[in-house]
Structure 1
Amino acid sequence: MIDLFAGCGGMTAGFVAAGDYRPVLAVEWDLHAAATYAANFGEDHVRWADITTVTDIPPADLIIGGPPCQGFSNLGSRDVDDPRNQLWKQYLRFVRGARPKVFVIENVDRFLSSPEFALLRAEARPGGLLDGYHLTPGLLLAADFGVPQRRKRAFVIGSRVGPIPLPAPTHSRDRWHGVRTVLEGLPEHPAHKTLPDSTVEILGHRVPGRFKSADLHLARTPTALSLERYRAIPPGGGRFDLPDHLLPRCWREKKTGTTDVMGRMRWDEPSLTIRTEFYKPEKGQYLHPQWEPGPHGHRVDRPITHLEAARLQTFPDTFEWCGTKIQVAKQIGNAVPPMLAEAIAHHLKPYLSATPTPAPAPCRLCG
């Protein structure tokens, strides 16, 4: 398989975990994300480069990847002329060059209603760049596949071996995993605030790393005002639970919208989407779920750590990381949850091989 816009390797991690998938090329332009990918899957097939400059395209049965989505995202400008939105055409160039049996594109949910997606569908018509491929688009919710996170993303499966539906959910709503499944038991008060002072040479460059999962359990130093705000917010609550004297002016004057900011998770429910700035409670529902009522209730008044975010994304604790704290956080938030990728990988096996395939592996969080 080929992984384009590979990031730190969330999709590759899931496909490799499913067995039978062997990466032959991964392309990523960000050095630290490419270094993380290489640290976990080897350097030999990694190209740290602008995808437009990569011309040696090996044959492959499968191409996976998510072109940058900022132009489509609710958090971005949604500018159809954003040059990042044109990178999906590079994805098609690799499909034309490698001629995979199947390809999988991942993007934010708004992608399916974008002009770029309409152009993508047009390329599957006779004479188009994707002539011969059948496209199946749709939305997948990570929680439906065992991920303790309500992360909804668009996926497009392209196939020249017959139509392939999107995978069916493996977890009904009453079997969703709450954040307890991956956060409970971790130290409530991290011992360190910085990553170890270590570097490693990968891809011909020296970068911070390799960091183990335990290295990512990092504390922050909130202000007294921030701590007072954190204490006031119960599980499932957010900025609307703050008394007036704790509200900044911008929130006091904005009575609607941004309902999840300064939010606290619930132990027995999936988290909301883990984004790249999960360590900032003002950016979303990122406060630790432990909170008991009363003046002496047991509370953990801090945002989740990098390790906790990685676990909510279902990265295994054996995964290794390269980069600064901010760079690693970006890698975590931008990744496809490996457990979701693994479910897709199992689903695709019968279509990629004529031999019988084993039943999907049991959910590792269910036991």
Structure 2
Amino acid sequence: MKAISLFTGAGGMDVGFQNAGFDVVWANDFDKDACGTYRLNYGDHIRHGSIDDLMPELKELGQTGGISCLFGGPPCQGFSVAGKMDAQDPRSKLVWSYMQAVSLVRPAAFVMENVKSLATLDKFRAIREGFIKEAIKLGYNVDLMVLNSKEFGIPQGRERMFLVGFRDRPNHFRDLIDSQRCSPPRLRDVLLDVGKIGSPQNNRICKAKITAAAKPILRRSPYAGMLFNGQGRPLNLEGHASTLPASMGGNRTPIIDDEALYGNQTPWIEEYHAHLMSGGEPIDWKSVPGRLRRMSVDEAIAIQTFPRDYKFAGSQSSVFKQIGNAVPCMLAESVARVVFELLSESPSAVKKRCKISKELQLELT
């Protein structure tokens, strides 16, 4: 099945969709380094530039026909709680460019990814309802879901919206996506599998310093609150990571305790947190022990479930940005497998599924 990738970035969704069986024949991104990364891993079928300038190519692809799926995540900064949440941000308008691409290509199915807030907040209701109505007008049966990557085998809590549409056939995406859910591995195991920091397979080190906050903001968990300057928080090795931001590379890069990771010692942050909770004074801002460091590029790649041999173009800050902006590959694959399965169903199987679905609805009522 042929597919088109929009707002491709480093290709996180493409990894997942290709693993699920799709053949991505055309891709696009505005970021030069991201396009360079894509070419290193997939070839020259990515177009660098504004999607709005490339609509003639998409129209031609639509006229040629045979595109099974169009997928991608328009820039989310205008909708993200980590940004200004400005619906008038020029990047926010690219959801409409996405829908224009759908109207030109007319794929059998489409998948649009974005941040959770676009799917849930009242301030974005008009936008969300607007593009759903547009999709229905184009002949698509649509469903909107929020999925959390940690429920799909990924060691990272990352909630994302997925708008999935099927043209001229029932949409049973919601019925099948649960079959893809699985527990994530411990973060400790993922990081140990990458290799020790400084080793040949884990040598892209983030050198941003770690300093203690003079006035820590405490929470019940030592892995929450603000115990360090900047927004980089320590990682709970027995759990999963929080959402990896595109702003990694500086003081927003997550923090790892090497003695806890490699030596199984009690995490320093837990001892320091207990000290503060019992009324102890904060340490001097320069007195953070050397056992603490920032997450490396290679560790971020593993947490986002990119293939370990995936190549990235650009400076280290650009690579961190590309990794943080990506959809976790395994989450994309879970979504893509369901879409592929539904597109592969014969007409008789579709009728049977519809009959079962109606019977279940009758039982519930």
Q: Give TM-score, length-normalised by structure 1.
A: 0.75
The answer to whether residue 256 in structure 2 is matched with residue 288 in structure 1 is yes
Tell me, what secondary structure is at the counterpart of 2:24? coil
Mapped to 2, the partners of 1:181 and 1:109 lie a distance apart of 28
Cα-Cα RMSD: 2.9
Tell me, what secondary structure is at the counterpart of 1:168? helix
* CA deviation profile, 1:20-64 (whole Å, cap 9, x unmatched): x11111011111101101111111x21111111111121311000
Match in the other structure for 1:323: 314
State the one-letter code of the partner of 2:70: I
The answer to whether residue 338 in structure 2 is matched with residue 347 in structure 1 is yes
The answer to whether residue 26 in structure 2 is matched with residue 25 in structure 1 is yes
The answer to whether residue 12 in structure 2 is matched with residue 2 in structure 1 is no
Structure 2 portions without partners, runs of 5+? 272-288, 350-365
Match in the other structure for 1:199: none
Matches within 5 A, 1:158-173: 158-160=165-167, 161-166=169-174, 167-168=177-178, 170-171=180-181
Tell me, what secondary structure is at the counterpart of 1:148? coil
State the one-letter code of the partner of 1:118: E
Alpha carbons 2:99, 2:134 under 8 Å: kept: no
- State how many pairs are aligned: 304
Alpha carbons 1:237, 1:263 under 8 Å: kept: no
Mapped to 1, the partners of 2:249 and 2:291 lie a distance apart of 14
Match in the other structure for 1:118: 129
CA distance 1:25–1:186, change in 2 (3 Å)? closer
Match in the other structure for 1:256: none
Mapped to 2, the partners of 1:336 and 1:105 lie a distance apart of 11
Match in the other structure for 1:181: 189
State the 1:176 CA deviation. 2.8
Match in the other structure for 2:164: 157
Structure 1 portions without partners, runs of 5+? 193-213, 252-260, 357-367
Match in the other structure for 2:246: 276
Mapped to 2, the partners of 1:157 and 1:107 lie a distance apart of 12
Mapped to 1, the partners of 2:35 and 2:100 lie a distance apart of 21
Mapped to 1, the partners of 2:107 and 2:181 lie a distance apart of 30
* CA deviation profile, 1:264-303 (whole Å, cap 9, x unmatched): 11222111101112333x436x1115433499x9983101
State the 1:315 CA deviation. 0.5
Mapped to 2, the partners of 1:216 and 1:277 lie a distance apart of 20
* CA deviation profile, 1:191-212 (whole Å, cap 9, x unmatched): 69xxxxxxxxxxxxxxxxxxxx
Matches within 5 A, 1:10-159: 10-19=12-21, 21-43=22-44, 45-54=45-54, 55-57=56-58, 58=61, 59=65, 60-112=67-119, 113=121, 114=124, 115-125=126-136, 128=137, 130=138, 132-159=139-166
State the one-letter code of the partner of 1:51: I
Tell me, what secondary structure is at the counterpart of 1:70? coil
Alpha carbons 2:72, 2:112 under 8 Å: kept: yes
Alpha carbons 1:190, 1:219 under 8 Å: kept: no
State the one-letter code of the partner of 1:353: S
Mapped to 2, the partners of 1:228 and 1:110 lie a distance apart of 30
User: What is the percent sequence identity of the aligned residues?
Assistant: 30
* CA deviation profile, 1:145-201 (whole Å, cap 9, x unmatched): 1111011101100111211323116445xx332212321144544269xxxxxxxxx
State the 1:313 CA deviation. 0.2
Tell which structure's C-alpha radius of gyration is larger. Answer: 2
User: Which is strand-richer, 1 or 2?
Assistant: 2
CA distance 1:140–1:239, change in 2 (3 Å)? closer
State the one-letter code of the partner of 1:99: R
State the 1:354 CA deviation. 3.4
CA distance 1:221–1:331, change in 2 (3 Å)? closer
State the one-letter code of the partner of 1:163: N
State the one-letter code of the partner of 2:301: A
Match in the other structure for 2:207: 220
State the one-letter code of the partner of 2:187: V
Mapped to 2, the partners of 1:269 and 1:239 lie a distance apart of 13
CA distance 1:221–1:124, change in 2 (3 Å)? closer
State the 1:123 CA deviation. 1.4
Mapped to 1, the partners of 2:191 and 2:46 lie a distance apart of 32
* CA deviation profile, 1:296-344 (whole Å, cap 9, x unmatched): x998310101110111000011211101111111100000111111111
Matches within 5 A, 1:231-246: 237-238=222-223, 240=225, 242=227
CA distance 1:240–1:32, change in 2 (3 Å)? closer
Mapped to 1, the partners of 2:237 and 2:334 lie a distance apart of 24
State the 1:228 CA deviation. 9.9
Alpha carbons 1:2, 1:26 under 8 Å: kept: yes
